[in-house]
Chain A
Amino acid sequence: MSLLTIQDLTVEFPTRRQLFTAVDHASLSVEPGEIHGLVGESGAGKSTIGAAVMGLLERPGRIAGGQIKLGGDQISGIDVEAMRGLRGKKISMIFQDPLTSLNPLFTVREQLVETIQAHLGGSEAEANKRARDLIDRVGIPDPDTRLDQYPHQFSGGMRQRVVIALALCTEPDVIIADEPTTALDVSVQAQILDLIKELAQERQVGVILITHDMGVIADTTDRVTVMYAGKVVESGTTAQVMGQPQHEYTKSLIAAVPRPTLKLHRFPQISYGGRETRFAIEDMARHWPKVDNDTSKPVYEIRNLTKKFLQRRGLLPWDRTYFTAVDDVSFDIQAGEVFGVVGESGSGKSTVARMIAGLYPVDGGTISFQGKLVSDLSDRAVQDEYRKNIQMIFQDPYSSLNPRMRVDEIVAEPIRHHKLMSGTDIKRRVDELLDQVGLGHEAGQKYPHEFSGGQRQRISIARALATQPRFLICDEPTSALDVSIQAQILNILKDLQEHLGLTMLFISHDLPVVRQMCDRVAVMKQGQMVEIQETSDLFANPQTDYARELLRLMPKLDDLSTDGLGEREE
């Protein structure tokens, strides 16, 4: 018999306007020692299943049908007290963000001992011993000292290990891990996933691993269930679902995943569940000023760029401490190329982008654009001219558009500011842009919250193109988007570069995406640029240990189906 069985589960959230069915007749089961992946894009209902199993559905959500069985006993619909007895003891949970899932005012020992005693009883000494063993087991060095520390004294990865220890401390049969590595860096992510795999094997725990990341699914899980709009669309062993997907949605989802091993000309367009919106690049190219990309001279010459942030304030200069975010970085960007910068969080890649964009003043070094020095922010005339020529696409489409401004005002703002046109010309230009990015000019009358993430990113693109810039900075432009939307946006960016002759700086932590997008790549580590290479050379033959390590940790995705990927470039 399966450890955990979910049958025909339906979860509803009654709202004022309608009854929203978050999970619609979903079924799945988990065996001992098995890691069962639950994958889908945002809003697919995967986290809701986790919460329903734990009995932690947020109001006003409710289980409207079906059942959940734990080792043969029904646990859906049982009373609150009985459920509390099961929680922690039989089923446990790991949350996404280790930063907020530990109580900041209690030591690790206090939190562990309290949980152990609540479920297993026993003496304080026994609980203490058990706590120490667990901390040791999840790979935290020096357990005796670490036990008496507070959560804020641990790094992100170590904290997630503490969370795992807490989830394990009463020997549960099932653990639900809801995006357990999304908040972590790639290198830490790999370690945490390995730990979960080992522990599941060793203790014969069934794990439901909820994630949106196909790489995590392919590398970690035994079986996988794919969800779309609250429904289970496909289920099976990971090899089977990833290698020979049956359902159209699964196929399109897998096709949209960027591969590290092969470079595509364009991502296959996902057509499942909605019409594809056309991006009218030819139309746009016709109206674009002719660009003559002179390749003899670099567009950007960046020399010895340095940025320090104040880490601790102090009245006296010697009381202050600084954190060097960017440390003596030099590189060139050629006209018409896409120059990528990769690195983990805190490596300084976004800071470089922001200095080039003129958002941060530089603390050392120079930035020259088309032969002119632009790193002196006080030179108004040069800055004004410069700002017409560069634009930026931001990471988070939910925060990059002012929620209180209408879409046409947002797109018109750069034109108005630079006084490029006036009156009706502005309106015509804005309508044209919105039509071209595939939203239709009616979109101008609305506010950003009326659009989805992908649509918002198109609005961002329309704004960025309003001044007909020569250079585009993309700071993780797709990392907040679902994989299918990511494919669309990446295609648009490729079109822009190809048809309009735009030069781009492309910042990303995601190596496969960089592989698809960039001509040359720089690798950053702790504020320094450790390696700059042609993209294909970097992936084939990394020169530094750090780059080799990053490539090693990258999910390989070799087993993913390659159906429908279309034209390949290499």
Chain B
Amino acid sequence: MFAYIVRRMFQSVIVLLVVGLVAFSMFRFVGDPIDNMLGQERTQADIDRLRTELGLDQPFVVQYAKFLQGAVQGNFGVSYRQGRPVSTILIERAPATLELAFVSGFLAITLGIALGVFTAIRRQGIAANVIMTVSLIGVSLPTFLIGILLIYIFSVELDLLPSFGRGETVMIGSWSTGFLTASGLKALILPAITLGLYQMTLIMRLVRSEMLEVLRADYVRFARARGLSERVINFRHALKNTLVPVITITGLQLGSIIAFAIITETVFQWPGVGLLFINAIQFVDIPVMAAYLMLISVMFVTINLIVDLLYYAIDPRLRVDARAT
């Protein structure tokens, strides 16, 4: 168990180092930071001074080490566009994205698994087939179109819900939350559905196909031959086996929620890190891009670690192998 976790953590650290290298290379080679930071009126002396100040005259490895050191301490430099430290901007923006991601992730997982199991068990039924067809439309509809559609119906035509922004927020420490006000909650509804719907359809289709596969397995046939009830077979034997692969992919899906948040945030002008990132790309604001990359890779790596641990808890085969090693 311990060795297993340590090995996993070790791999995570390597992933982070690689991502750090990518982020740092962006810093170093995409566009010239000097160009970005000094205006047109510059002298060679200014350039040289800034070069030394930024450490750009030092060897690559030293610069990378310094970058990592800064990154660990949350120091990603100054945004080219806003002229403020990137870390401050990120801290301001992160709560909006996290709250949105949390709500839609929760919706996607619970509804996705429930509907997936339903459509797998009742695969001949009318309701299940309707759900499957609708879900295919869901997969084919780009997230931004879903968002626009929802805005058109609920904001423009029905005028029920706000079409952009977070509504009123309340500060708890440095965390601004929209959960505590009515307008904040109202503003959350459409973006959360937009972001969750696509993930939900994916999870649902995945659960269904995994479950159908498990239902064909020999041990399910044997369970049937022993006269166990369909309920026990479906919800005890099949579901648990289905969860093993589903957990991995759901973990990946959760990661992509944070990425897809970029789209949702753009459509709804939601003031989160996704919107920040897309603006950074348009203006080639490298420090913000690099910081965003590091931030979400930390999140992904954490999610993956949790997934691995869950996996480990569910599948006894892993436990024994781990003990043997």
Q: Which residues of A contact B (CB under 8 A)?
A: 54, 56, 84-89, 92-93, 95, 97, 100-107, 114-115, 118-119, 150, 152-153, 163, 166-167, 170, 312
Which A residues are in CB contact (< 8 Å) with B221? 56, 95, 101
- How far is B320's CA from A153's CA once the two chains are assembled, in angstroms? 8
State whether B317 touches A152 (Cβ < 8 A): yes
Contact for A56 among B225, B228, B236, B241, CB less than 8 A: B225
Sample 28 A-B pairs with CB under 8 A, ordered by A number.
A56-B224, A56-B225, A86-B227, A87-B224, A88-B226, A93-B222, A93-B225, A95-B221, A95-B222, A100-B217, A100-B218, A101-B219, A103-B237, A104-B316, A105-B240, A105-B241, A105-B314, A106-B237, A114-B236, A115-B227, A118-B226, A118-B228, A119-B227, A150-B316, A150-B317, A152-B320, A167-B226, A170-B226
* Residues of the B chain whose Cβ atoms lie less than 8 Å from the Cβ of A153: 320
- Per the bound structure, the CA–CA distance linking A95 and B317 in Å amounts to 22
A150 interface neighbour in B223, B244, B320, Cβ under 8 Å = B320
Q: What separation, in Å, do the CA atoms of A86 and B226 have in the docked complex?
A: 9
- Report B159 CB to chain A, min CB distance, Å: 51
B229 at the interface (CB under 8 A from A): yes
A to B contact number (C-beta, < 8 Å): 82
Q: Which of B17-42 contact A (CB under 8 A)?
A: none
Distance in angstroms from A251 CB to nearest chain B CB is: 35
- Tell me which residues across on chain A come within 8 A of B217, comparing CB atoms: 100
CB within 8 A of B225: which of A92, A104, A114, A312? A92
Indicate whether A87 sits within 8 Å of B227 (C-beta atoms), given known contacts A101-B218, A102-B219, A102-B222. yes
Asked if residues A118 and B317 are in contact (CB atoms below 8 Å), the reply is no
Cβ < 8 Å to A, chain B residues 285-325 = 314-317, 320, 325
Q: Which residues of B contact A (CB under 8 A)?
A: 217-230, 232, 236-237, 240-241, 244, 314-317, 320, 325
Contact: B241 with A104, CB < 8 Å? yes
Inter-chain CA distance A89–B314, complex, in Å, is 30
Q: Tell me if A97 and B316 are in contact (CB < 8 A).
A: no
CA–CA, A100 to B225, complex, Å? 14
Measured between alpha carbons, how far is A152 from B230 in the docked complex, in Å?
A: 25
A150-B320, A152-B320 are contacts. A103–B219 as well, Cβ < 8 Å? yes
Q: How far is the CA of A115 from the CA of B229 in the complex (A)?
A: 10
- Tell me the smallest distance from the CB of B41 to a CB of chain A, in Å: 55
Q: Which chain B positions have C-beta within 8 A of A119?
A: 227
Check if B229 sits within 8 Å of A118, measured CB to CB. yes
- Given A56-B225, A87-B224, A115-B226, CB of A312 within 8 Å of CB of B325: yes
A105-B240, A150-B317 given as contacts; is B219 within 8 A of A114 (CB)?
A: no
Q: Given known contacts A85-B227, A86-B227, A118-B227, what 20 new A-B pairs fall within 8 Å (CB)?
A: A54-B225, A56-B225, A84-B229, A84-B230, A87-B225, A95-B221, A100-B217, A103-B223, A104-B219, A104-B316, A105-B244, A105-B314, A118-B226, A118-B229, A150-B317, A150-B320, A163-B222, A166-B222, A170-B226, A170-B227
Contact in complex: A103, B241 (CB < 8 Å): yes
Query: Of all chain A residues, which has the CB nearest B317?
Result: A152
Return A184 CB to nearest CB of chain B, in Å.
15
Taking CB atoms, residues of chain A closer than 8 Å to B240 are 105-106
Chain B residues whose CB sits within 8 angstroms of the CB of A84 once the complex forms: 227, 229-230
Give the shortest distance, in Å, between B230 (CB) and chain A (any CB).
8
Given that A152-B316, A152-B317, A153-B320 are contacting pairs, would A101 and B222 also be in contact in the complex, using a CB cutoff of 8 Å? yes
How far, in whole Å, are A150 and B232 apart by their CA atoms in the complex? 19
Chain A residue at minimal CB-CB distance from B218? A100
Per the bound structure, the CA–CA distance linking A102 and B244 in Å amounts to: 16
Chain B residues whose C-beta falls within 8 Å of the C-beta of A87 in the assembled complex = 224-227
- Distance of B86 from chain A, by nearest CB (Å): 36
Complex: chain B residue closest to A105, CB-CB: B240
Does the CB pair B218–A97 fall under 8 Å? yes
Q: Which residues of A contact B244 (CB under 8 A)?
A: 105
In the complex, the 10 A-B pairs of residues with the closest C-beta atoms, listed nearest first:
A88-B227, A87-B227, A100-B218, A88-B226, A93-B225, A150-B316, A101-B222, A103-B219, A101-B218, A115-B226
Contact status A100-B227, CB under 8 Å: no
A115 touches B228 (CB 8 A): yes
A85 to B230 CA separation, bound complex (whole angstroms) = 12
Bound complex: CA A97 to CA B223 (Å): 14
Complex CA gap A54/B223 in Å reads 12
Closest-by-CB residue of A relative to B220 is A103
How distant is the Cα of A87 from the Cα of B320 in the complex, in angstroms? 33
Residues of A contacting B317 with CB < 8 Å? 104, 150, 152
Write out the residue numbers on chain B whose beta carbons fall within 8 Å of the beta carbon of A86.
Answer: 227
CB-defined contacts of B232 to chain A, threshold 8 Å: 114, 118
- Least CB distance, B314 to chain A, in whole angstroms: 7
Measured between beta carbons, the chain A residues less than 8 angstroms from B220 are: 103
Cα A89 to Cα B225 in complex, Å, equals: 10
Tell me which residues across on chain B come within 8 A of A97, comparing CB atoms: 218
State the Cβ distance, B120 to closest chain A Cβ, in Å: 16
Smallest CB separation, A473 vs chain B (Å):
33
A132 CA to B128 CA in the complex, in Å?
42
The distance in angstroms between the C-alpha atoms of A152 and B240, with both chains bound, is 16
Residues of A within 8 A of B315 (CB): 104-105
Nearest A-chain residue to B216, judged by Cβ:
A58
A107 CA / B317 CA spacing, docked (Å): 11
How far is B220's CA from A63's CA once the two chains are assembled, in angstroms? 22
Q: Which chain A residue shows the least CB distance to B319?
A: A150
Query: Once the chains are docked, how many angstroms separate the CA of A103 from the CA of B236?
Result: 10
- B225 contact set on A, CB distance < 8 A: 54, 56, 87-88, 92-93, 95, 167
Complex: how many Å from CA A85 to CA B224? Answer: 11
Shortest Cβ distance from B219 into chain A, in angstroms? 4
* Bound complex: CA A114 to CA B231 (Å): 13
CB-nearest residue of chain B relative to A99? B218
Nearest B residue to A153 via CB reads B320
Q: Within the complex, what minimum Cβ distance (angstroms) separates B113 from chain A?
A: 17
Q: What CA separation (Å) do A60 and B317 show in the bound complex?
A: 35
User: With a CB–CB cut-off of 8 A, which chain A residues contact B316?
Assistant: 104-105, 107, 150, 152
Smallest CB–CB gap between B68 and chain A, Å?
23
B residues in contact with A150, CB < 8 Å: 316-317, 320
